[in-house]
Amino acid sequence: MTQVVENRKINYLDDIPNYYRGNKTMILWSVDSINNDEDSNINNEDFFTKSPLKYIKTPISFAVADTDFVLPYDLSHIKNAITKSESILKLKENWDEEGALPTDKKTFLNAIRFIIKYSSYLLESKEKTVLDYPDISILRDGAIAVNWETKNASFTIIFEKDDKDVSYYYAKEKNSFIPLRYGVNIKGDIDKTTAIWMSENLKYNQGNPFR
Amino acid sequence: MDVRKSEIQPGEPLPLTDSVYRHGVNTMVEKEDRYTPTIYFFDLSQTDKNTGYSLSVDWDKKTTPEESIIRIGCSYKTKPDFEFKNYKNRVIYALEIAFIDSLDWISKIEYSPTIHTKEILGHPNNKAHSLVFYDKAEYAQNRPALLTELRNHAKDKKIEFDMTKVEVFVEKCRKNKK
């Protein structure tokens, strides 16, 4: 798949950075192979059709809960899950006819920031892990649950409505009897233990028994 | 003399060989392209927390799935008052008591029938009503594990019921109340 990036003119392959940051945007380039001899005469018009650049991917800008976010193109499935979940904010008190409480923007955004932070970090890591998309749901007291399920593992983290720094999660590999129950500081730096576990167990397209 | 109780009494634990039913609103429990049932289904409401961190279920030895749904149709909503609950949008999943009991974060599964000496309008008796008590200490830490395990266990345990039968009884019960 090839896309024109904002009519940007690119003259030389050498000018193309592997990784470019502009104003609030990020462009990721994946280069399959570059054969300078073969492509040295390429002009701008031909660039996108003849270039050895197989994938030119625009970053995805989107807004949820009146807040702007940007995700790399490879995480568009995660963006879709996030925007789909925004309807949670519209639920009023007693939304389940059993006295359930609504959530609030702060709690919802804590969950969204966690997803974006870890999925972006893993994609930029040495392993370039593309994280699967999670199920984002509201709980009865207005807390937000984020749940990943793959064929081999399950990960559930709950963001309580009290805006605490620590959120608790449960991570379990299906062939292991020793699950991980852990508290992670959601407002601090990336927790490496959590990130490594996610990278190993929650890859996109691993197969999901619930879908 | 060997005295054996033939019946489980209120406040006593349910037998590990049986199951309990949990019902909920279908749109909240079963979502398109989402994990079914949702973990919301096993979460406690604020009212549940105020009454000892317990989840309401129906003991399968004392009810049929249809009776569970009929009771919903004959119950008032929490808010607004004096309006009957929608019973046509409900789903039921079964949970094995032995499995629930095996989880570290459960303190007990207790028989707790709600039987009024005189029937109260919009609050039908429920001789099957039981409570699954979650461990209150460290609930926040245990909550993700507890909800995930219950959800995973219930995944293939959806219970079908005869809605035609339910409708007949609910309409009858609602007419009687007018």
Nearest alpha carbon to residue B99 among B38, B57, B49: B57
Across the beta sheet with B158-159, what order do the strands follow? B106-111, B129-134, B54-59, B19-25, B90-96, B158-159
Widest distance between CA atoms in chain B: 59
Domain assignment of residue B80, given as a range: 19-176
- With contacts defined as CB-CB under 8 Å, which chain A residues touch B38? 135, 137
Residue B138 lies in a domain: yes
Calpha distance A13→B125 (Å, rounded): 77
Amino acid at B17: T
ipTM: 0.84
Residue B137 lies in a domain: yes
Spans of chain A below 70 pLDDT: 1-56, 206-211
Residue B14 lies in a domain: no
Contact criterion met (CB < 8 Å) for A157 and B77? no
The answer to whether B26 and B89 are in contact (CB under 8 A) is yes
The pTM for the full model equals 0.79
Residue B2 lies in a domain: no
Report yes or no: A149 at the B interface, CB cutoff 8 Å. yes
Residue B7 lies in a domain: no
Residue B150 lies in a domain: yes
Per residue in B75-112, pLDDT (tens digit) is: 988 766 678 899 999 999 999 999 999 999 999 999 99
Instruction: Spell out which chain B residues touch chain A, with contact meaning CB-CB distance below 8 angstroms.
Output: 24-25, 28, 31, 33-36, 38-40, 43-49, 77-79, 85-86, 140-145, 147-148, 152, 155
Calpha distance B42→B143 (Å, rounded): 10
| B50: alpha, beta or left? (left if phi > 0; alpha if psi -120 to 50) | alpha
- With contacts defined as CB-CB under 8 Å, which chain B residues touch A144? none
Nearest-by-Cβ selection for A170 from B43, B44, B148:
B148
Residue B4 lies in a domain: no
Token readout for B11 is 């406040």
Contact criterion met (CB < 8 Å) for B24 and A211? no
Q: Where are the alpha helices (DSSP H) in A21-92?
A: 36-39, 44-50, 76-85
Average pLDDT, chain B: 89
Q: pLDDT-derived band of residue B126, with 50, 70 and 90 as boundaries?
A: very high
pLDDT in the model for residue A210: 60
The answer to whether A168 and A182 are in contact (CB under 8 A) is yes
What's the structural domain count of chain B?
1
- Flag the least confident range among A169-173, B2-6, B127-131: B2-6
Distance from CA of A51 to the nearest CA of B (A): 37
Q: What angle do CA B104, B110, B111 make, to 5 degrees?
A: 155
pLDDT in the model for residue A124: 93
The answer to whether B43 and A139 are in contact (CB under 8 A) is yes
Amino acid at A189: D
Distance from CA of B28 to the nearest CA of A (A): 7
Report yes or no: A51 at the B interface, CB cutoff 8 Å. no
Calpha distance B133→B131 (Å, rounded): 6
Q: Where are the alpha helices (DSSP H) in chain A?
A: 36-39, 44-50, 76-85, 105-124, 192-201
pLDDT in the model for residue A96: 83
Nearest alpha carbon to residue B170 among B90, B88, B63: B88
